[in-house]
Structure 1
Amino acid sequence: MPDAIHPAAPVSSPTVPAQVAVRALALAGDLSMGQPPDQSVRAARLAVRLAQLQGADESTARHAALVSLLRWSGCTANAAGFATLLGDDVGGREAMLRQGLPEGHPLNFANIAPLAHIHCEVAGEVAALLGLPGPVEIGLRHVWEHYDGSGAPRQLTHEAIPPVVYLTSLAGDLEILSRTHPVAAACQMILQLGGVKYPNAMAQLAVAHAPALLAALEQGGDIDADLPAHPVALSIVAELIELKLPWLTGYSRRVAELAVRAAALAGLDPEQGQRLERAALLHGIGRASVSNTIWERPGRPSAADWERIRLAPYWTARAGALIPALRDEAELASRLYERLDGSGYFRNLDRDSLAMPARLLAAAAALAALCAPRPWRGAMSEPDACQQLQADAQAGLFDPQAVQWVVAAAAGQGGAMPSLPRRLLSEREAEVLRRISLGESNKEAARAMQISPSTVRTHVESIFRKLQCSTRAAATLKGLSLGLI
């Protein structure tokens, strides 16, 4: 990795109602786990009905719905680990959830416990960042625990596990297993998991009412009405998705910054600039559907890989259909990889279909990507990246005027760049956090910073203590939300 790392300047993130952010994160989680894009919503509906069958109060039912919606919110953070274990983090976890992993698969408690620890800590931090009720955060921090103590991260048992965890686990199993197996077989699997993942009595109750529960599930229903509506930063969505690939840390924010400043230079009205900013922060949702193995494979992607990659902006567009509050921004975001000559994806649009906002967004994304390191290449210097972008514009890929505005934005025109706060971390600690957030090991960070690995380790321990976390993924998420990186 290159010695010089230039962090993205923090963007004054636009806000959305918490319910919108929750739905966006639920969709990204579903895609990361190889699930249909409404799996978490369906599981949340089942969790509410199971809570009602148990006689739980309304707050417990609401909390169970939120935990179900955000159950997979930590799965981007451990995607690399599952890709290493299973060869495909998306397909492998899909098979795991439907109990379809082949015999001899490598998953066991020893290798899955660290991944569960990362997942639960990040999911809990998400709840805190979204300002959700305490029981929701606690539930997410224990969402991998099992009734018999075979879960993680703390191997809790019985009453030590929050009730919303049992409701979430049971609802998720019922939704997934009944969709991927005959209902009778799914019910038998749930009974076998009784006394293991959740209490026997809960499993028996769910099986006894399974026909009615599943029939009601197919009738749909609005889950958003009971979700919190206070404003939260939209950047949380981008930051969580980018944990899937550490080398993407801060990428969406940098694209947003360039696009907004370029829009001002282009004379677009403020409303269009805000739409561009929101689109930049949302564009990575569809990326969650593609396995880390594909994203990190050296060399040019194969034809099969490209077919999967082309689906990433499709799923971003689909987010707008599933979450109406994000429709306009998701539609614009899904055009980020289109090119004026029609060679882009996923719609193969050309100059006649791409208005100036889409042209600015594409140019901003390309410049930000060229200036950042990737597993298959080093980062280009900003002058070289600008020259490459201008050459691509001359070749007909990008709009030349849009490129000029983006290049000017990168040079500092179009608005002042905000400064990064440093009071919580020292300058050295902030540099270490930037480096580990991009996936560097202690040895790699030490080599680049010309200090010893033990000194880096000491700084990492101090960062964890100050940010009140214990994993690099959670430290990255907190550092981004606090504007430290």
Structure 2
Amino acid sequence: MTPPEASRLPLLVFDCVKALAFIGDLSMGQPTDHSPRTAWLAARLADAAGLSAADRDAVREAALLRWSGCTANAAGFAQVFGDDVAFRQAMLEEHPDWAEPLEALGDAGAALTPLAVIHCEVAGEVARMLGLSASTETALRHVFETWDGRGLPAHLAGDAVPAAVFIVALAGDLEIYSRVFGVEGALARLAQRSDMRYPADLVKHATTHARPWLKQLNELSSAEVDAALLTRHMQHSTSPALVADVIDLKLPWMTGFSRTVAATAAAACVRLTPDTEVHARVYHAGLIHGIGRASVPNAVWNQRERLTESAWEKVRLVPYWTSRAGRLAGAIGEAAELASYAYERLDGSGYFRGVRDRAISMEARVLAASVAWVALRLPRPWRPALSSDEAARQLLEDVAGGRLDGEAVDALLADADSPIRRPVNEAHTRVLLSVREIEVLRSISRGASNKEAARELALSPSTVRTHIENIFRKLECSTRAAATLKASAMGWL
């Protein structure tokens, strides 16, 4: 079973970037237009600073992708700080410098350095995999550096930091603080960080132009903002598969889930209709059906006991946020609207809309059944994986109970025992991992520690450590999240 060609529906890199910006804003507890607004302000600031055309494009791209590493370190934030979404929201709105709150946090503050490394490496990889400029990639790999050298991850200072980093940081602070404290309060806070977080000359530009810029921005439509942000590199065609991988990074036990759902749903559609556009549309929807998952703290997803009503309400809103992504332009928007029906049920017991019967299209019925089918056969923190027979019985019970569509389930079960074979990306065949290295990578990509991977694979911890070192060297990365992202794109996970 292999997925259909994603190129059957036109998709721009810009569509994927906007989706990743949306996910990043949810992860940071921000309004879902925060990153586009930041990018627009950053573009104005880059113009005022006299940057070259290429550098101005890098500013736009880096501003949109600034939070694209958020899902990669969500598990780490949850482990150290509890609520990964709420903590990051507080960091932005109360302590915008990653370096600033370290002393106040004590030992926990020291944990921010490795988390920043993960974020920056993954964000840089995202830019590279999307074919954006080298300047954009470099800026994202240093996105938390500061003018005074107290930033992360490398403590670079002054002109050693790409100018785009300071411009994006200042624009982001201006966007958030003007919303939280008003324009005057925002400018006062920017002044306090002059020649610390960013150079004084940028603060002067912002002080001079902030009021008219914000007034103009508030009068623009989202389409007008988009038009001002589109760069040459973001006009190429691509696949939304990278968006799926970034979504799944949030929870290690979800590695590869969205790609598997997409391929499974598309294969079922092939059995139901010859329409290749339907196949591709369902495939795209399967890839991004979890966009809204970024809004829910990891502690909720990892909970083993029955969810409280408040936690369950957060989960019910996951497809709502996915539907909000449906407002994005292009193929991503169309796919997101379909994807937001992934948890609806024919008897009205699903969420978030609670619609039933005819209100749920055949494409949505296939997607909903596919999500359930794949999820049941994978382990979750609150239950072990079900066998194919057990999962099939559960689906058939849902059909008998009027919750799932019988035709969609029959199409899924027609190939119940056939594993999904993800195609290897031929562009990466020069990277050769051994069979054992791939086994180790699959284990750690799902959250296993070195000791856990050693027990699972009957290896010594030192052997696992050696394999991981080799994996990082071959994949040219230094974190498990970046290795997972690269390996998923190569078809290894």
TM-score range, shorter chain: over 0.9
1-side partners of 2:479 and 2:181: how far apart? 36
* Structure 1 position 204, deviation (Å): 2.6
Matched, 1:433 2:441: yes
Aligned counterpart for 2:324 among listed residues 306, 318, 328? 318
Residue 350 of structure 2 is aligned with which of 337, 344, 355?
344
Structure 2 counterpart of 1:308: 314
> What secondary structure is seen at the aligned counterpart in 1 of 2:327?
helix
> In the alignment, residue 110 of structure 1 is paired with which amino acid?
A
Query: 1:119 corresponds to which residue?
Result: 119
The aligned residue for residue 135 of structure 2 is 135
Matching residue of 1:4? none
Count of matched residue positions in the alignment of Structure 1 and Structure 2: 476
Residue in 2 aligned with 1:3? Answer: none
Q: Percent identity?
A: 49
Which of 51, 66, 72 matches 1:71?
66
Question: In the alignment, which of 27, 31, 37 is matched to residue 36 of structure 1?
Answer: 31
Distance 1:320 1:107, change over 3 A: farther
SS at match of 2:11: strand
Partner residue in 2 for 1:181: 181
- Aligned mates of 1:100, 1:302 — CA distance in 2: 30
Partner residue in 1 for 2:393: 387
| Matching of residue 449 in structure 1 with residue 457 in structure 2 | yes
Aligned to 1:230: 236
For residues 352-431 of structure 1, the aligned pairs below 5 Å read: 352-412=358-418, 417=421, 420=424, 424-431=432-439
Following superposition, the deviation at residue 84 of structure 1 comes to 2.5
1:285–1:70 Cα change, 3 Å? same
Residue 86 (structure 1) shift: 2.6
- Aligned mates of 1:418, 1:62 — CA distance in 2: 34
TM-score after normalising by structure 1:
0.94
For the pair 1:484 / 2:479, whether they are aligned, the reply is no
Q: Which residue does 1:93 correspond to in 2?
A: 88
Cα distance in 1 for partners of 2:380, 2:432 equals 29
**Is 2:20 the partner of 1:25?**
yes
- After TM superposition, list the pairs within 5 Å mapping 1:192-341 onto structure 2: 192-220=192-220, 221-224=224-227, 226-227=230-231, 228-341=234-347
Once the two structures are superposed, what CA deviation does each residue of 1:378-424 show, in whole Å capped at 9, x if it has no partner? 111222211221122212211122111111133339xx945657862
- For 2:69 and 2:107, the matched residues in 1 are separated by 18
- TM-fit CA distance, 1:334: 0.3
Q: 1:451-466 to 2 correspondence within 5 Å?
A: 451-466=459-474
In 1: Cα distance, 2:365 partner to 2:455 partner? 39
Instruction: Confirm or deny: 8 A CA contact 1:11 1:253 kept in the other structure.
Output: no
Q: Measure how far apart 1:10 and its partner are.
A: 7.2
| Residue 55, structure 1, aligned to residue 50, structure 2 | yes
Distance 1:108 1:294, change over 3 A: closer
Structure-2 separation of matches of 1:393 and 1:76: 34
Aligned 8 A contact 1:10 1:483 in 2: no
1:193-220: CA deviation from partner (whole Å, max 9, x where unpaired): 1121111221232123221221122122
Aligned to 1:472: 480
Greater displacement, 38-47 / 296-305: 296-305
Normalising by structure 2, we get a TM-score of 0.92
2:27–2:85: 8 Å Cα contact kept in structure 1? yes
Amino acid of the residue matched to residue 351 of structure 1?
A: D
1:161: how far off? 0.1
Tell me how far 1:133 sits from its aligned partner: 0.6
Q: Secondary structure at the match of 1:410?
A: coil
* CA distance in structure 2 between the aligned counterparts of 1:448 and 1:319, rounded to whole angstroms: 39
| Structure 1: tracts of 5 or more residues without a match | 1-7
**Structure 2 match to 1:45:** 40
Distance 2:160 2:127 in 1: 20
Q: Is the 8 A contact 1:363 1:398 kept in 2?
A: yes
User: Within 1, Cα distance between the matches of 2:6 and 2:252?
Assistant: 21
Q: Which amino acid counterpart does residue 248 of structure 1 have in structure 2?
A: M
Aligned partner of 2:146: which letter? H
